[in-house]
A and B are shown apart, each in its own frame.
Chain A
Amino acid sequence: MNNDRWMAIFIMTVAIIIFGVTFNYPPEAVQFPRFLLLICFALALLLFFLSPPKQKRLPNNIFSKERLLTIIFTIFYIIIFPLMGFFTATFLFLTFFMWYFQREKIWKYIFISAIYLSLIYIVFQKFLFVWFPEGLLW
């Protein structure tokens, strides 16, 4: 079965589940979402039947190592920055991310990270008065 049909099945399943969730809410509050879910289900059904039976498969690097790692590093960075403090977490993230994807001398990336953080400090905290969480470190 091709990707569009799998996507259609996924959408129909999610639509049914969310429609089920709407029974927990007052009917007047969910008229519009239910209307949308019905349209969504109908469109997914159309997508299922109208998608060509033979279709190119998706490129297999959609979840390539680089992309998955980028997402993981970013999520990890977002999790640690309220805990460690914005500047510490950002310094570690930038340095490690740049070094990991191009294994050159780490001093180069420490220098770039320091420049970035100085600019952010000046522009955001001194000029725009946007304050970042300090966390356990800084």
Chain B
Amino acid sequence: MEISFWQILQNVLNAQNVLMAAAGTLIGIIFGALPGFTAAMGVAILLPLTFGMNPASGLILLGALFGGAMYGGSIAAILINTPGTPSAAATVLDGYPMAKKGLAGQALRESVFASFLGGIMGVTVLLFFAPPLAKISLLFGPPEYFLLAIFALTIIASLSEKALIKGFLAGVFGLMISTIGMDPLLGFPRFTFGLKDLVDGIELVPALIGLFSIPEVLEIIKSHRENVQESVVPGRKIKIGFPPLQHIINFLPIYLRSTIIGVIIGILPGAGGSIASFMAYNETRRVSKHPEKFGTGIPEGVAAAESANNAMSSGALIPMLTLGVPGDSVAAIMMGGLLIHGLQPGAELFTKNANIVFTFIIALYLANIMMLFCGIYLAPYFTIATRTPKHILAASVILLTVLGSYAIRGNIFDVYVMITFGIIGYLMRSFGFSVVPTVLGIILGTQAEKGLYGTLAISEGQNVVWFILQRPISLILILLTLISISIPVVRYWRGRDKLK
């Protein structure tokens, strides 16, 4: 399908899409600025609202929210010493000390500008790398899709080094959930226990809403009697403004290095913003001429963390849009949105639906520009959100989760699914299990099972293992899977040897 840049630009600049970019950015910044709220929760709650919209507008709303939340977390990190989102944990290290030194305005300016540059550069990588990667997906057959699902799950599980087995168990649990409903071979309903609502399987979006939102509500309500957190400096006294050109030139290596780290980490399934921001922070400190100053309140620390976490948000979309493997929990939820609009990740998205996906990607530039202006002129006022009493926040989130789950199909069963998964998610977290491998398992389970049966079918009686090993892409995926499993295992045994 031939599309022109001007046509895409016209689509981006139409009133609905501009409104969605603005709304998503603002809502994302608010969600990010509120400790206890996450980008994943915001996207999960807003996702059902996008069903009535055209796909491009819906994706723009969610993508803008993602980027806004990645930046918004830094506001709370700098002003109240609490990261608004896990991705802003590294920003606290230098952001809050800067605020205590009376440099809150400079810290906020650095965080918004670094987020803006990281976001813009990340979107540029997405724009130029995603289409050729999508073409590679045409070479994927059933064995490759099966192995890709296994690789993605092993990567996520292996990132939780200290709880490697728990990570794998969580992933297998997600795969088991995906087997509820009709099997792909015979169409026989499995594990439905007589419930007709389970014949089509567990509805993805309510499960995601429950897994990401209810545990957060239960955390928020735990501390509802604590005093509201006050900003270290009153909002009206903070002046931000644009950074001088010389400052941008001096900090360019930090922005570039952190963006590259952020994009690469974003591409790895399950790695997330906190890993990206800490890696970028540590790397910037390592190459700095004054590493001892990091942690005392210097803008370099804020710049590194914020560039990386916003770049990560674009990186996470690359494998999601091209291969159907979300790089992050938020990308996983957005993928749910794609599927519900009938859009399949892969080559088809960049050919048949090129209009939609390129409108979305270009609109992310607009969202980043809006984020920059919101940050410069409105950032200090977002701390008002942190003063909202927690019991009101908790009630609001419960209401939105029930609303969102019901709004998908108008079916009360989806609300039951939401609360069930909410309780399961809370118990998983309490016992040290991450929900991210579970989410990935639910999303990739059907693909994995179909890939496995497809492999058995096309191998036509040959030895299946030998058949797979003759396919170059399968071989690469097997090697990557073995590497991703062995790294944490080796670290674990080395750790035990050192203790001995």
Mark each residue of chain A from 85 to 109: 1 if its CB lies under 8 Å from any CB of chain B, else 0.
0100010011001100110000000
Please tell me if B6 contacts chain A, counting CB pairs below 8 Å: no
How does the 8 Å CB contact mask read for B388-399 relative to A, with 1 for contact and 0 for none? 010110111011
What B residues does A97 contact at CB under 8 A? Answer: 391, 394-395, 398
Q: Is A137 an interface residue (CB 8 A)?
A: no
A25–B192 Cα distance when bound, in Å, is 11
- Find chain A residues with CB under 8 A from B419 CB: 74-75, 78
CA gap between A26 and B413 in the complex, in Å: 27
Assuming the contacts A44-B169, A128-B407, asked whether A32 and B179 have C-beta atoms less than 8 A apart, the reply is: yes
Q: With A7-B431, A25-B190 as given contacts, are A43 and B172 in contact (CB-CB < 8 Å)?
A: yes
- Least CB distance, A130 to chain B, in whole angstroms: 5
Cα A116 to Cα B419 in complex, Å, equals 21
Q: Judging by beta carbons under 8 Å apart, are A71 and B186 in contact? A: no
CB distance from A108 to the nearest CB of B (A): 10
Nearest Cβ on chain A to B51's Cβ, whole angstroms:
8
Query: Are B179 and A43 interface neighbours, CB within 8 A?
Result: no
Given contacts A26-B188, A102-B224, A124-B403, whether A43 and B165 have CB atoms under 8 Å apart is: yes
Report the bound CA distance from A90 to B402 in whole Å. Answer: 10
A interface footprint on B404-418 (CB within 8 Å = 1, 0 otherwise): 001100101001100
Q: Are B391 and A101 in contact, CB atoms less than 8 angstroms apart? A: yes
* Docked CA distance A99–B214 (Å): 20
Q: Chain B: how many interface residues by the 8 Å CB criterion?
A: 49
- Given A74-B398, A97-B395, A116-B399, A66–B169 Cβ distance below 8 Å? no
Q: How far is the CB of B218 from chain A (nearest CB, A)?
A: 5
Q: Which positions 25-55 of chain A face chain B at CB distance < 8 Å? A: 25-26, 28-30, 32-33, 36-37, 39-40, 43-44, 46-47, 50
When chains A and B are docked, how far (Å) is the Cα of A14 from the Cα of B191? 13
B449 at the interface (CB under 8 A from A): yes
Q: Is A132 an interface residue (CB 8 A)?
A: yes
> In the bound complex, what is the Cα–Cα distance between A102 and B399 (angstroms)?
18
Within 8 A of A (CB), among B262-320: none
Interface positions of B from 210 to 225, Cβ below 8 Å from A: 214, 217-218, 221-222, 224
Interface SS majority for chain A: helix
A93 to chain B: which residues have CB within 8 Å? Answer: 395, 398-399
CA distance A44 to B176 in the complex (A): 15
Per-residue CB contact flags for chain A residues 7-18 toward chain B (1 = under 8 Å, else 0) read 100010000001
Given contacts A28-B185, A32-B452, A74-B419, contact A43 B221 (CB under 8 A): no
Q: Is the CB of B412 within 8 A of A133?
A: yes
Cβ–Cβ < 8 Å partners of B238 in chain A: none
Tell me the count of chain A residues lying within 8 A, CB to CB, of chain B: 56
Does chain A have a CB within 8 A of B373? no
With A7-B431, A47-B166, A128-B407 already in contact, the answer to whether A78 and B416 are too (CB < 8 A) is yes
* A1 in contact (CB, < 8 A): no
A17 to B415, CA, bound (A): 27
Enumerate chain A residues within 8 angstroms of B214, measured Cβ to Cβ: 74
Q: A33-B190, A94-B395 are in contact. Are A46 and B52 (CB under 8 A)?
A: no
| Cβ of B175 under 8 Å from chain A | yes
Contact yes or no, B172 A130, CB < 8 A? no
Contacts of B392 in A (CB 8 A): 98, 112
Interface residues of A in 75-89 (CB under 8 A from B): 75, 77-78, 81-82, 86
* Chain A residues in 8 Å Cβ range of B222: 61, 64, 66-67
Q: Is B179 within 8 A of A11, CB to CB? A: no
B161 close to chain A: CB less than 8 A: no
- Pick the contact of A70 from B173, B183, B221, B430 — CB < 8 Å? B221
Query: Are A32 and B449 neighbours in the complex by a CB distance under 8 Å?
Result: yes
Residues of chain A contacted by B407 (CB below 8 angstroms): 124, 128, 130
A21: which B residues are within 8 A, CB to CB?
191
Q: How far is the CB of A46 from chain B (nearest CB, A)?
A: 5
Determine whether the beta carbon of B52 is less than 8 Å from that of A129. yes
Whether A23 is near chain B, meaning CB under 8 Å from some CB there, is no
Residues in B with CB closer than 8 Å to A98 are 391-392, 395
| Nearest Cβ on chain B to A24's Cβ, whole angstroms | 10
- Tell whether A25 pairs with B188 under 8 Å between CB atoms, given A32-B449, A67-B222, A78-B415: yes
Known: A26-B186, A75-B419. A47 touches B169 (CB 8 A): yes
Q: Does residue B31 face the partner (Cβ distance < 8 Å to A)?
A: no
**Cβ-defined contact, A29 with B169, below 8 A:** no
Shortest Cβ gap from B216 to chain A (Å): 12
B358 sits at the interface (CB 8 A): no
Which of A11, A61, A94 contacts B169, CB < 8 Å?
Answer: A11
Give the distance in Å from the alpha carbon of A129 to the alpha carbon of B113 in the complex. Answer: 39
Q: Are A58 and B175 in contact (CB under 8 A)?
A: no
Contacts of A26 in B (CB 8 A): 186, 188
CB of B479 within 8 Å of the partner chain: no
Question: 5 closest pairs, A vs B, by CB?
Answer: A101-B391, A29-B188, A29-B183, A33-B179, A130-B407
Interface residues of B (CB under 8 A from A): 49, 52, 165-166, 168-169, 172-173, 175-176, 179, 183, 185-186, 188, 190-191, 214, 217-218, 221-222, 224, 389, 391-392, 394-396, 398-399, 402-403, 406-407, 410, 412, 415-416, 419, 423, 426, 430-432, 448-449, 452-453
Write the residues of chain A forming the contact surface with B, with a CB cutoff of 8 angstroms.
3-4, 7, 11, 18, 21-22, 25-26, 28-30, 32-33, 36-37, 39-40, 43-44, 46-47, 50, 58, 61-62, 64, 66-67, 70-71, 74-75, 77-78, 81-82, 86, 90, 93-94, 97-98, 101-102, 112, 116, 120, 123-124, 128-133
- Name 6 A/B residue pairs within 8 A (Cβ), A-sorted: A29-B190, A32-B452, A74-B398, A78-B412, A101-B394, A133-B412
With A40-B176, A116-B396 given, name 10 new contacts (CB 8 A): A28-B185, A67-B426, A70-B217, A70-B394, A74-B214, A78-B415, A86-B406, A102-B391, A120-B399, A128-B52
